[in-house]
Structure 1
């Protein structure tokens, strides 16, 4: 009897046919649920996703730093100060991201998003027109605060605003537009002086200020608590960041200069931005058909192998290393756009249970930015001490570790509702403290313990073969 009660709680939830605004919700408040797709929902999701351009442009702005060093009309900037300008964003995010979780609960994620857009606009103006070096740092710090707020709230907000049928595409939206923001910053740096490029980056937040006022506030409705997916996501984010994605994007010009690539280093950086944007768009197009797990596995493996190859060539000082660096970095950046970049953020919206989604997102941002700060700050020292080849080899090992983590523990979430995913991670049998595997299939729900399996069928075995959720724990009965 107890087993049947446990099984009944694991059955797939039916699609909610209610409107976006729940009848019990206050006006102007968006409620969670598997509601049908409509124009209002799409409009809200698009506005939220477009704010990710502001995050990408913060990363892409670092491409102007060589030009800033060459311009001594206002002040001079040393290599050490360049390291601080690159690394201060994750340093500030370590502190602000934890506060962002509290602010999301207090003032609401939509209001926090509006505040972040205003802060971002002000930060670009301060940095572009400052006559003093300390104001440059101050503007960068204000931008880092806005970056921290947006990074913490975007994925939880997009995931809860989106119905199951478009959630995969919607959750890759911030990564697509973030990649566009990086490309925008790199392109402006390639064609304009650093102060002009910085001033032009104030246009995106200015254009989002008024549309963001129309996005309603959001309220979480679901109950339950489970920290196991948080621990899994922490491992994914840490090893992804140790895999070198931040130094490769933010020190790209210095990497190409160090390796002696014959092409203009600014042109190479723009090429990387184009590759990343293209691959993120491909990921958004195929994610709901291919699934999250296969893309992440392939990206981690291929990206790690690309960095390993170029690291060996640079370490052995072979003649092909100069052009091979550009090719292998293009492969790595493509893998990042296909899987390493968007899919961990999709998992933030899908795997974190609603009651801890704000706090969990803040913890992930804090841990990730701590890792990024350390690796960004140490990167120039690493390539001076052990060489660029050994540094890239160490990055490749971290990507291969990430591949093993995903292969062993990360589930496929394609086609599953948020309620089903919470149930799958939180289910425990009453007779045992061991974690059970919940497999949700069409017409069948089974609860598998490591010692055996119990299942309840609603149809024939042949009709139960289609999988909605595939766990990468023991082999499921849906096979």
Structure 2
């Protein structure tokens, strides 16, 4: 009997030390994030398919290198228009219908590109495709962040980049699948097949709820409460999230489920740009600096050039057959997809900052090694086998490094750190900068390679990656585990000025926006 009691006591003590169970992933939030993130396939598919289609477009339409650069990169400039409009559109008609609009516009672009009889008509189709891409890039991460529970926000908000990479892979597969068709038909089918994901996106959105944060901003508190109950890990979390959103939107706590008239700057979107750049608090200035820097460095390291011009890079590395180049390009797509899935699984475990610094460290090594190998090949009259093999390897390692951090974390981080009142238009600003840098990189790669050699181009990209690593190490704080409404407290590393009585006043960027603090970044 005494032995049984001792065993029972031992068992009880061991159970006392059992770690708490992690909450199961919310299946409804997972489904919503997946459907919204599918919008990002549009961008990925266009990037992937154009890298191979341009080989056949050049032969069929007899276009120059400059025209190649324009048709490859112009979609990023057109995306600026879509991103700029999407910020206001999503505040006006809601996140959900903005996703529908993105799919519909890209559908028109894909149809026009698929029936292009000449270069001018192809450019016309890319205008519509670019507008749709701009809408998609802005709205997918915003909606996903706003429906994600705190426990899995990093996991879910990395989905847009997962689908970008999936789209790239599908584009590469499309290139290979249609490459054997007659010249005039093959590349047009490659581009025209883009209508399929756009149709699926529009149909999928019909079963998605509206973002609870947008519903609160419109005063629809009852609808917001019902959505939060579905997408939160518990009833208590749903109540807390609703209270936090109401507080951030300036709605009194006493307002319950009735329709309230929200008359403030959040509803109309007025005053957002002034608050971001003119009257910004130290915390908001730090957030805007983080958003701008992450978008700038993500694109200026030149990974879009690696993806768009991978057949050209592989040709320089010694692969001359079209089929072999497309197969090597498919390997790039598979590598990107696999490593973005790795990043998705570890974002909430390791945090944003460690993965971002690891990613840029890998980019530095890969880009400098690739630059060295291509330089050796360029200065050799004979085929340098080791340099060719290492060039192909470092192309794959560079996209792998990008995919575990720089790719997904930019979208996750920049969406989650922006306050509710600034989120839609702040995210649109980030996309505009992102696409602007991407347009510059993709529209100058061939000319830059001729001016300073292809190896010199990658030395330049590697140097930018090195500067980015130092900047992120100094500027970027960790945000893992914080609610969207708590995020501002992580920024504006400042000390409050002492009060006359020797104490200090804790800064509050929501309520004390007029207080002056010394910003220390």
Moved more, 257-266 or 396-405: 257-266
* Larger helix share, 1 or 2: 2
Q: In the alignment, is the contact (CA less than 8 A) between 1:54 and 1:204 conserved in 2?
A: yes
Match in the other structure for 1:67 = 56
Q: 5+ unaligned residues in a row in structure 1: which ranges?
A: 1-34, 439-448, 452-472, 475-479
CA contact (8 A) 1:262 1:322 kept: no
Q: Distance in 2 between matches of 1:437 and 1:198?
A: 55
Change (3 A) 1:162 1:119: same
The offset of 1:213, in angstroms, is 1.9
Instruction: Calculate the TM-score normalised by the size of structure 1.
Output: 0.79
Report the Cα offset of residue 373 of structure 1: 1.4
Which residue number corresponds to residue 154 of structure 2? 168
Alignment of 1:23-422 (within 5 A): 38-63=26-51, 64-70=53-59, 72=60, 75-192=61-178, 193-218=186-211, 219=214, 220=217, 221=245, 222-223=248-249, 226-261=284-319, 264-317=324-377, 319=384, 320-422=386-488
Q: Distance in 1 between matches of 2:289 and 2:493?
A: 16
Q: Does the Cα contact within 8 Å between 1:424 and 1:437 map onto a contact in 2?
A: no
Larger deviation: 182-191 or 39-48? 39-48
Shift of 1:79: 2.3
**Could you tell me how far apart the structure 1 residues matched to 2:301 and 2:37 are?**
26
- The alignment partner of 1:386 has SS state of helix
- Secondary structure of the residue aligned to 1:214 is coil
- Measured in 2, the distance between the counterparts of 1:357 and 1:296 equals 22
TM-score, normalising length: structure 2? 0.73
Larger displacement relative to structure 2 (107-116 or 262-271): 262-271
The alpha carbon displacement at 1:420 in A equals 2.1
Q: Helix, strand or coil for the counterpart of 1:227?
A: helix
Preserved CA contact (<8 Å) 1:315 1:388 = yes
**What is the alpha-carbon distance in structure 2 between the residues aligned to residue 266 and residue 315 of structure 1?**
23
d(CA) in 2 for partners of 1:391 and 1:278? Answer: 27
1:30-68 CA-partner distances (Å, limit 9, x unpaired): xxxxx9964433322221012211121121121211022
1:244-263, Cα deviation, whole Å (9 max, x unpaired): 11111111111212332367
Change (3 A) 1:207 1:259: same
Contact kept? 1:233, 1:364, Cα under 8 Å: yes
2:268 corresponds to which residue? none
| Distance in 2 (alpha carbons) for counterparts of 1:171 and 1:57 | 20
> Could you tell me how far apart the structure 2 residues matched to 1:311 and 1:95 are?
34
Q: Cα offset for 1:138?
A: 1.2
Distance 1:279 1:159 in 2: 21
Secondary structure of 1:387's counterpart equals helix
The answer for unaligned runs of 5 or more in structure 2 is 1-22, 179-185, 218-244, 251-274, 276-283, 508-516
| Alpha-carbon shift at residue 235 of structure 1 (Å) | 1.2
Contact 1:242 1:372 in 2 (8 A): yes
Tell me if the contact between 1:300 and 1:335 (Cα under 8 Å) persists in the aligned partners. yes
**Structure with greater Cα Rg:** 2
Deviation at 1:308, TM superposition (A): 0.5
Contact map agreement 2:494 2:518 (CA 8 A) in 1: no
Structure 2 vs 1, CA of residues 300 and 427 (structure 1 numbering), >3 Å: closer, same or farther?
A: closer
| Aligned mates of 2:506, 2:192 — CA distance in 1 | 53
Partner of 1:470: none
